[in-house]
Structure 1
Amino acid sequence: MASCAKDMRTATAQACEGNHMSTQTVLSQQRSMPANEVEQHATTGTTPPVVAASPAILDRIIAFVKRFVFLRTQSMYLLVALWIIATYLHGEFQYMGYLFIHSPEKGSGKTRLLEVLDKLVYESAGIDCAPTAAVLFRTAKGHTQLLDECDGWVDIGVLKNILNAGFQKDGQTSRCEQERSGAVTVRKWPVYAPRAIAGIGRDILSDTTQDRTFFVEMVRQTKEEQREKIRGRRFVSEAADLKKEIEQWVKTHRAAVAELYESMNEAELPYLKDFRDRTIDVSEPLAVVLEIAYKDNPEMRERARLDFSEAIAAARQEKNNYAPHIKILKDLLAIMEGEELIEQPSVLAERLAVPNGTKPVFIELEISEALRHYGFPQKSHRTDRGPRLCYVIKRAFLKEVLARYAQ
């Protein structure tokens, strides 16, 4: 048995290398297998099948994109990863927001991001640097369109109308077409499709088109920020493997995503409710993917919600009133009775309880992170349980932080 266990650890390490997964992840999956199956694999020298946990697909997409693309706002990697998965599911959604990849100067990585997307998104139509209206509406259905150099499009006025309609499921355009008989008929073309649009400048798209997009700001990299170069076969092979994982995840979770999205008619996700209606429209599909991906890991889900709400605020140029840190600070201000509060996070968690007092709204860790993030000091303070390390919360400073970041 000792020899079998050693062989199992060797096989596990090899599996980790082949699948870019940690040994801890694979072992945890093996521990969930029946004992007889684990022993069988150890005896035969084969590797147990590795089935990644739901959140792992997002982690792997983020890690892959990070290797080749630099984004100054870290939370944007999560938004891009969610958008990639959502392209496979866009038929389940009423709206599909575009990615607007822009920079102030050339050489900032816009086309590089499109190249990465081209290998990962659902049925890419390829990268088009000079699309015509006919190309846009004839290749919309069943494809993801990647559009480059939009600052140089000569017929932007015509394309604008298709882009403005194409983020909504029932968007369409009509064209007269001549049949072989010579008769002319009017044909309606669906224009709904996932799209990523890239160009130099923030104002190259009309206000209406911008309102359908997530702004993804690109900047020229410093030497310290340089990413890997895209190298032919290796890049294509790794991207193809990741794409297969995405397709499998979508196949497994499509029904759950569709069901949760449909329920948004009766209820809304709390971290989206303070955004504008249009922002909610285009963000809900990505949020639903997030919720399903992290449904079995509440702690990771809460952190992802925070990152996602931060990314939405940046990508939609709106204030983020949901961010848990801000909500914690607001609730702390509400319970303060004097000008200063000195307390442990565990006690604060108890005080910030839901009305019936059955469970805290925020766990200690989240409270500590919020207070530490905004610079609230700590000091040793004597309590009835002896000396404890407590946070010092002054009303004036708390109100100042909220005035700066929550308005």
Structure 2
Amino acid sequence: MTDPTPPVTTTEDGAALLDAVEAHRRRFNVFPSESAYVAVTLWDAHAHLMDAFEATPRLAFLSPEPGSGKTRALEITETLVPRPLTTVDISPSALFRSVCDEQARPTVLFDEVDTVFGAAASGNEDLRGLINAGYRRTGGVIRSVRDGDSHVVQKFPVYAALVLAGLGDLPDTIMSRSIVIRMRRRAPNETVEHYRQRINEAEGHALRDRLAAWADTVREQLTGAWPEMPEGVTDRPADVWEPLLAVADAAGGHWPERARTACLELVNAAKDTDKGSVGVRLLADLRDVFAGAERLTSATIIERLTGMDDAPWADLDGRPLNTRSLSRMLGDYVTATNQPIRPRNIKIGTAVAKGYYATDLADAWTRYCAPIPETPATSATPATAQVRALFPVAGEVAVAVAATDPAPATETAADLSTVG
């Protein structure tokens, strides 16, 4: 007689499982913040649920100096994720062939990535493009392949989870797709267990198998999920964090709250350290250089920019910024009337020199630079509205005059005496 009692199935407690993964991490890794432990733990779990998400954030362990625990973080990751592929050097074609098979898609662990994308490395644009394309599930690489006596164009999928570790920073396009963990050398009071692969690897594999089994129970729930984002997290950061917040919501317990706290902290930290492209950095520094002035000569601008201690302008690819490169870089941006930003003549007394007007830069400042807190202002004409929003009240007299008469100067004839 058949026993009608159905077999007892044990459902993994998702919150407890993530707690166990985090505790395992803490035994061997020292991360810079509680938020980092949360983010990395959720990333480990998301790697088992790739088909449920439209994008996979890159996880980047970066540090200014060697010996900061990046490689150990990769070693622990390797034991927790499905089908790990660890490398310190891989060609675009090899990476492409590794990830294009959706049935055997690996989790790529890329150590010493600074040798590929660092200051001393070549551009490696093909590899960067492949990494960026693999961020989205719909991303792919198009290749021409032989079909009998002819060739056909075919799109190959390259969607895959990716961890990178290296010194310094990564290219901007990769950074914007990444959750960045800023690793540091351990302080004397920060201790970890010694990691022994033949002993501790099996412990990681046991957690990996539990993550895989739990993922199977929540995959349908997570497919197409729209987790609630913390206030202010939008656009690319929201895309990056969506899979991790969805995993936290599925796990339950304290993880949804911890995940959103970590999301806000790490997104805001990325904003604080992100200087944007070189062009955006130039615009932001120019706004500081003008400091309320309505116009400055190119020579004065160069002098002030190259004198900034924390700016790159004194050494751009081995040479300082000059008036020609300044003009070329600013020419990529336009004025409020949709004209390229170009140097104009500035007349001071009988002297004339090339320079720039704040009114020409105002639209670019508004579009590309973080806003300056508003300050009280007197009535403004339409021609000076944008500029007044960017400068403190002390500079508004010069701005108002510039709107009606370009002759008044913010530099003396003596300032122009060194201009050739």
Q: TM-score by structure 2 length?
A: 0.57
Q: In structure 2, what is the Cα distance between the partners aligned to 1:184 and 1:314? A: 48
Q: 1:152 aligns with which of 111, 115, 121?
A: 115
Contact 1:173/1:189 (8 A) holds in 2: yes
Tell me whether 1:196 sits opposite 2:202 in the alignment. no
- Residue matched to 2:264: 309
Q: CA deviation at 1:178?
A: 4.6
* Mapped partners of 1:55, 1:307: distance in 2: 16
Partners of 1:165 and 1:72 lie apart in 2 by 29
Kept after mapping to 2: 8 A contact 1:275/1:318: no
Is 2:198 the counterpart of 1:233? Answer: yes
Instruction: State the distance in 2 between where 1:49 and 1:254 align.
Output: 18
- Asked if the contact 1:108–1:220 (Cα under 8 Å) also holds between the matched residues in 2, the reply is yes
1:54 and 2:14 aligned: yes
CA contact (8 A) 2:32 2:181 kept: no
Looking at structure 1, the residues matched to 80 and 210 of structure 2 have their Cα atoms a distance apart, in angstroms, of 10
* Per-residue deviation, 1:310: 2.4
- Give the C-alpha shift of residue 185 in structure 1: 4.0
Quote how far apart the aligned CAs of 1:163 are: 1.4
Indicate whether 1:139 and 2:102 are aligned: no
**Structure 2 letter corresponding to 1:86:** H
Deviations 1:254-310 (A, max 9, x none): 111225x1xx2xxx6141x4123100011111101111111xx4x664345334432
2: distance between equivalents of 1:73 and 1:315? 14
Alignment of 1:36-115 (within 5 A): 52-115=12-75
The residue number in structure 2 matching 1:269 is 228
Please identify, of 48-57 and 219-228, the stretch whose mean Cα deviation from structure 2 is larger.
48-57
User: Higher helix share goes to which structure?
Assistant: 1
RMSD of aligned C-alpha atoms? 2.6
- Kept after mapping to 1: 8 A contact 2:52/2:220: no
Find the partner of 2:131 among 163, 171, 177: 163
Can you give the 5+ residue segments of structure 1 that lack an aligned partner in the other structure?
1-47, 320-407
Query: Judging changes above 3 Å, is the alpha-carbon distance between structure 1 residues 63 and 217 closer, same or farther for their aligned structure 2 residues?
Result: same
In structure 1, C-alpha distance between the alignment counterparts of 2:256 and 2:55, rounded to whole Å: 23
5+ residue gaps, structure 2, are: 1-7, 117-121, 275-420
**CA, structure 1 residues 302+209, in 2 after alignment: closer, same or farther (shift >3 Å)?**
closer
> What are the superposed Cα offsets for residues 351-371 of structure 1, whole Å, 9 maximum, x if unpaired?
xxxxxxxxxxxxxxxxxxxxx
**Match of residue 256 from structure 1:** 221
1:315 deviation in Å? 5.2
CA contact (8 A) 2:248 2:255 kept: no
- Contact 2:229–2:238, Cα closer than 8 Å, also in 1: no
Aligned to 1:43: none
Cα shift readout 1:152-182 (whole Å, capped 9, x = no counterpart): 1256222111112110111111223456x66
Matched to 2:269, the amino acid is: A
In structure 1, what is the equivalent of residue 89 of structure 2?
Answer: 130
Could you give the per-residue CA deviations for residues 325-352 of structure 1, whole angstroms, max 9, x where no partner exists?
A: xxxxxxxxxxxxxxxxxxxxxxxxxxxx
* Corresponding residue number in structure 2 for 1:357: none
1:110-151 CA distance string (max 9 Å, x none): 111111111111221x21111110122111242211111111
Amino acid at match of 2:220: A
Change (3 A) 1:169 1:197: same
SS at match of 1:197: strand
Q: How many angstroms does 1:84 deviate by?
A: 0.9
Instruction: Note the C-alpha offset of 1:312.
Output: 3.9
Q: What amino acid sits opposite 1:193 in the alignment?
A: A
Cα contact 1:216–1:315 (8 A) shared by 2: no
C-alpha change, 1:56 and 1:187, in structure 2 (3 Å) is same
> Partner residue of 2:417?
none
Residue equivalent to 1:282: 240
1:108/1:218 contact within 8 Å kept: yes
- Is the contact between residue 111 and residue 164 of structure 2 (CA under 8 Å) also seen in structure 1? yes
The one of 243, 246, 249 equivalent to 1:291 is 249
Distance 1:315 1:50 in 2: 40
Contact 1:279 1:316 in 2 (8 A): no
Q: Give the partner amino acid of 2:91.
A: T
Report % sequence identity: 31
Residue 320 (structure 2) aligns with: none
User: Number of matched residues?
Assistant: 259
Q: Could you tell me how far apart the structure 2 residues matched to 1:300 and 1:210 are?
A: 25
2:30 counterpart SS class: coil
Say if 1:304 and 1:152 are closer, same or farther in 2 by CA, change over 3 A.
closer
Report the CA distance shift for 1:83/1:303 in structure 2 as closer, same or farther (over 3 A): closer
Q: Does 1:246 align with 2:204?
A: no
Q: Is the 1:122–1:144 contact (alpha carbons within 8 Å) kept by the matching residues of 2?
A: yes
**Highest CA radius of gyration, 1 or 2?**
2
Give, in whole Å, the separation in 1 of the partners of 2:160 and 2:166.
19
